[in-house]
Amino acid sequence: MRTRRLPLVVRYAEVHHAASLTALVCCALVALGAPARAQESAEDDATRARQLFEEGVAALHAEDLERAAIVFGQSLDLRPHVATAFNLAGALRDLGRQTAAVAVYDGLLEGSYGDLSEEQRAEVDEMRGVALAATAILEVRVEGADAAAVTVDDVPIGEARRGAPLAHRHDAGYRVVRARTDDGREAMRRLSLGAGATEAVELVLPSPVMAEVEPARSEPVLRHADEPRTEREMTSGGVSAWVWVVAAVAVVAATTIGVVLLADGEGEPTVDPVLGHHYTLSWETP
């Protein structure tokens, strides 16, 4: 555990400032006009916020940083207070959650939790610088898609676009970076970020899967028996019906020639031991 610079704990009383008379009058008028139930609820929240603050202080003294960060955060949700925010940022920084600590320090400097004295502002600014130096910047580029959603350790950080890297600040250490497109393509990298470093990572997404196109299938045509067939339907296996007509004519012609040869070209009958009597055809030139 790192040694903390004392004092780490800031008490409620250390951040009280004198209010002007005008402010006190305004507060009194608001209090008189507020419903009793709302006033009681606000008082309950303030009481509970202070109880949680004291629990956080006790957790810091016991070196239970996780518990301290939890109860300081709960107290801050109930009632914004400079002391609570200051101690929450310190607990987060000692836990190694530097980016979360920087966010709280930024809120303090912006006045989100109350006013700071010049001395307090200088101290907060110094501690913010220490936390910031322990972070790293990650620049994510994507290839293979126009845009992809990026996560670091499964936490969304934004969308990276082709040619425009996405820059984001992270705590130093081991990180898992993923990019995912709307159509489900994904790329992933594991890397270690060093404190104060700027790390560029390129995620190359796989090419989209092309869907297979099935060949068109001809459906059978149902028709009445007396309905004539179309020319396309007369084509079988890619061969036109006219081919079969030409083939039939050729067969008829060959048969006719054979008959003529039998009729005109007979010779003397011969006797064969197996076939018996038959005629021999002969070709004669006119």
State the pLDDT at residue 136.
95
Alpha carbon distance 49, 113 (integer Å): 13
Q: Beta-carbon neighbour count of residue 54 at 10 Å?
A: 14
Indicate the CATH number of 135-204 among 2.60.40.1120, 3.30.70.2860, 2.40.50.140, 3.40.50.720: 2.60.40.1120
Spatial CA neighbour of 178 closest among 148, 207, 133:
148
Alpha carbon distance 79, 92 (integer Å): 19
State the pLDDT at residue 209.
77
| Domain boundary assignment for the chain | 12-133, 135-204, 232-286
Most confident range (mean pLDDT) of 54-63, 219-228, 251-260 is 54-63
> Which tens digit of pLDDT belongs to each residue from 44-73?
888 999 999 999 999 999 999 999 999 999
CB burial readout 148-181, b (16+ within 10 A) else e: bbbbbeeeebeebeeeeebebbbbbeebebbbbb
Q: Is the dihedral of CA 152, 156, 160, 166 positive or negative?
A: negative
Residues 203 and 142 sit within 8 Å (Cβ to Cβ): yes
Q: Taking each helix axis from N to C terminus, what angle separates 82-94 and 65-78, rounded to the nearest 10 degrees?
A: 150
For the 12-133 domain, the top CATH level (class) is mainly alpha
Mean model confidence pLDDT for the chain? 76
Question: Is residue 163's pLDDT more than 50?
Answer: yes
Percent of the chain residues topping a pLDDT of 90 = 55
Q: How many CA atoms lie within 13 A of 185 on its CB side?
A: 17
CA–CA distances in Å: residue 205 to residues 19, 163, 168, 201: 59, 14, 20, 13
Percent of the chain residues topping a pLDDT of 70 = 59
135-204 has the same fold as 12-133: no
| More confident site: 264 or 78 | 78
Q: What is the mean pLDDT of residues 150-167?
A: 93
Name the H helices within 149-270. Answer: 241-264
State the pLDDT at residue 225.
54
Task: Indicate whether this model's pTM tops 0.85.
Answer: no
Question: Is residue 3's pLDDT more than 50?
Answer: no
Q: What is the mean pLDDT of residues 248-274?
A: 54
Q: What is the mean pLDDT of residues 229-240?
A: 53
